[in-house]
Structure 1
């Protein structure tokens, strides 16, 4: 058994094929990469170390020796989102930053003000700024099938059901920051009218693939 450093563009199938392994063999060598119960693969990050069969060639010895044993670079949209913490609605007038989030979803006219629900617009803006193609919608329910499903992973887009009995509410959406026994901690917009990190009960997660990834 050898170790391989994940490169940009790698995925489990690609790595397994490169080393003449089946996906099942790769999973057996890296059981921690698959979420128990759901069978979903966790996202691989450039720089992460995984186990492979055979011999890894082409890397200088010092690179292998000093490589970290575990590494998960924050996804680029998460790095952008965390810089927005503290952005909030204005009591008088509209915060131009929130209007920028909304414009990324094509919102204009009478709906372009910071009291329009903007949690999905914030996610859209962050994904777009990171160089990926977002859903382009400020409606949470439009994101339910966007991207691909993944296990609970730092930076995954997390979708919640409506948090009130108001049927007009479409739920809440944000980026997964942490988990505890009963809550998901999301970095999200329009949380108490601002961008912040806050807890939401796990029982509010949508039932089918609540965690989504941009690629």
Structure 2
């Protein structure tokens, strides 16, 4: 799952959302340095990733990208799931995506003092370029693919090729999202009931 999905699965809890956003930038046991509420968000993020990585829909979606990008297929799969979530009218009807994105940016700005430096640099561009809304457009996905290609040390495939895979298999990939996300929501609700402090 990518940024939009992790934020959405925080269900409007500011501390959980912040932890969910920064989790990839908190290594090992460093999560223990944060407040209990932020810790819950970090650990939820890790649980979501574990569930997603082993789900049959994710494995099927990755197969479309593997011939082109190999082990980086998971990165592109995470991004495309955000695209389909952004366009899911059952979860973001009307202008709710724009409103949700602004809510998320406001939450992160409020928690700016605790943001890891590496995430803070990314958040600057995320907010300025409105990534969370941009994931909903094909142009936004292409720009995100370009960013991955620029940052990935061992990825030499031009973004046009990965985007062509996305375009050619658009509806099949959308079907994998539809299979995954309701089960992901159920997983998060059960996880929260078992692990979050009341």
TM-score, length of structure 1 as denominator length = 0.23
Q: Could you say which structure has the larger radius of gyration? A: 1
Higher relative contact order (CA 8 A, sep 6+): 2
- Larger proportion of strand: 1
